[in-house]
Amino acid sequence: MSTNTVNATQAHAESMFDAVLARLDVAAKLMNLSEEVLQVLRNPSKQVKVSLPIMMDNGKIQVFEGYRTVHSTHLGPSKGGIRYAMDVNADEVMALAAWMSFKCAVANLPYGGAKGGIKCDPRAMSVGELERLSRAYAVSMKDIFGVNRDIPAPDMGTSGREMAWILDEFNKINGEDSPGVITGKPIAIGGSLGRDAATGRGVMVNTLAALKKMNLKANEVTCIVQGFGNVGSHAARLLSEKGIKIVGIGDHTASFYNEKGIDIQAALDFAAKNNRVLKGFTGATEIKSSELLTSKCDVLVPAALQNVITEENAGKIQAKLIVEGANGPTAPEADAILNDKKIICVPDILANSGGVTVSYFEWVQNKAGYYWTEEEVNTKHDLKMEIAFEAVWNNATQFKTGMRIAAYITALQKIEQGVKLKGAY
């Protein structure tokens, strides 16, 4: 294990943001990033924490914590989702915001990075409670958000529904319709065709690009997808449409394996009728959730939570290729193990950048007031992803490093220009 990996391991134990910094430092050193630019990027530019008192359905007030961190704005207004989950905290939001800066730069979008969140359990709240919470959050962030300032989007625990409430509240405050202030909206109020499936689509394009480099054909490989939410379900569907045999799927309720291949349409239909969860699906054998990532396959797509590939299970992974649909699914200490095993890992900031790429298209359409066909969106998306993949792959070769650090380098090469060109006081 290199010293840098050891540092990353220690950092991870304490903080997710420190783990981001550890990887950032490795990339910065390798590409010879200026110390000044590194210092700028090691510090998020703005952090806001608010308290949101909400009248719950039982007539009692409950106070929620809300966050928004803007990591950088050197390449444009900051961009990034809003997460509703119980583990939301200042450190996690800061790490996710930094990843958005790097993700937008890798995908060549004119954006900086941000992330927000509310510490809550959306599954345990009524629709009315969630609406009041979302509206309260929008009001408290009215001076942060803006079409050319900071543009939120969905993330874990949120969807078009929450985006519509936040947009409505923002519009009421400002007395005008600003659809471009938020992306991932329902189509009827300015959303983009193709946005819903975009993150999964990006995973598919990145998988095919990596397989090509590995001289493997789609119809010769098997794949396991962990997570069956917005990212995992679309990724599984699109990968299977490209001829890849999906042998394993799973969500927070159950995991399944079938070496003959799983009928993904049947799984989607089942989940649609079953409260969007897989528990009870009969198209494959149920396995322990801990076995899903380490079962036999060629391609592994972790598309659920962060830190699921760890020091404990990394050594048992059988896949040759990992494509990170989730943000941060690989703990830093697992990176070295995957590298030793020569497993190619398409990192989150590249693999799941399809979502923010189509968010960017949505914002462009909102600004122009002119809307594209789904085919136009998908064609433009696929091209952008292929260019981003190629840039990262080339940097991996040039700097003799893995794709994760190469993706950071690709991002830093762009952000460095932004920081230098815009200058300082």
Whole-number minimum distance, CB 359 to ligand GLU, in Å?
3
- Binding to ligand GLU (CB under 6 A): which residues in 65-84? 79-81
Contacting residue, 153, 163, 304, 345, with ligand GLU by CB under 6 A: 153
Sign of CA dihedral 180, 182, 186, 191: positive
Q: Would you count residue 327 as binding ligand GLU (CB under 6 A)?
A: yes
Residue 273 bears catalytic tag: no
Whole-number minimum distance, CB 185 to ligand GLU, in Å?
11
Distance CA 329, CA 305 (A): 6
Residue nearest to ligand GLU (CB): 81
Distance CA 242, CA 75 (A): 35
Q: Would you count residue 366 as binding ligand GLU (CB under 6 A)?
A: no
Question: Of 296, 312, 393, whose CA–CA distance to 347 is shortest?
Answer: 393
Residue 269-308 contact track with ligand GLU, rule CB under 6 A, x = bound: ----------------------------------------
Of residues 115, 185, 320, 384, which has the active-site annotation?
115
Query: Residue 321, class by beta-carbon neighbours within 10 Å (0-12 exposed, 13-18 middle, 19+ buried)?
Result: buried
Task: Write out the H or E segment, with its range, that includes residue 301.
Answer: strand 299-302
Residue 167-206 contact track with ligand GLU, rule CB under 6 A, x = bound: ----------------xx----------------------
Distance CA 172, CA 112 (A): 26
Q: Are the CB atoms for 64 and 120 separated by under 8 Å?
A: yes
Whole-number minimum distance, CB 229 to ligand GLU, in Å?
12
Q: Would you count residue 395 as binding ligand GLU (CB under 6 A)?
A: no
Read off the tokens for 180: 């471009």
Whole-number minimum distance, CB 248 to ligand GLU, in Å?
24
In the chain, the amino acid numbered 12 is H
Strand order in the sheet with 46-55: 46-55, 61-72, 112-119, 78-85, 150-154
Whole-number minimum distance, CB 305 to ligand GLU, in Å?
13
Shorter beta-carbon distance to ligand GLU: residue 12 or 195? 195
Whole-number minimum distance, CB 232 to ligand GLU, in Å?
14
Q: Would you count residue 355 as binding ligand GLU (CB under 6 A)?
A: yes
Whole-number minimum distance, CB 252 to ligand GLU, in Å?
18
Contacting residue, 106, 292, 336, 356, with ligand GLU by CB under 6 A: 356
Mark the segment that binds ligand GLU (CB under 6 A) among 66-74, 160-168, 247-255, 354-362.
Answer: 354-362
Contacting residue, 7, 359, 378, 401, with ligand GLU by CB under 6 A: 359
Mark the segment that binds ligand GLU (CB under 6 A) among 130-138, 291-299, 355-363, 385-393.
Answer: 355-363
Beta bridge partners, 113, equal: 72, 79
Give residue for tokens 């490795």.
26
Q: Are the CB atoms for 195 and 358 separated by under 8 Å?
A: yes
Shorter beta-carbon distance to ligand GLU: residue 324 or 335? 324
Q: From residue 254, give the alpha-carbon distance in Å to each of 24, 174, 405, 414.
A: 35, 45, 33, 41
- Binding to ligand GLU (CB under 6 A): which residues in 32-61? none
Shorter beta-carbon distance to ligand GLU: residue 46 or 341? 46
Shorter beta-carbon distance to ligand GLU: residue 117 or 332? 117
Give residue for tokens 């009248």.
55
Distance CA 35, CA 137 (A): 36
Q: From residue 237, give the alpha-carbon distance in Å to each of 92, 263, 270, 333, 354.
A: 30, 9, 14, 31, 15
Residues found near ligand GLU in the complex (CB under 6 A): 79-81, 103, 153, 155, 183-184, 327, 352, 355-356, 359
Enumerate the active-site residues.
115
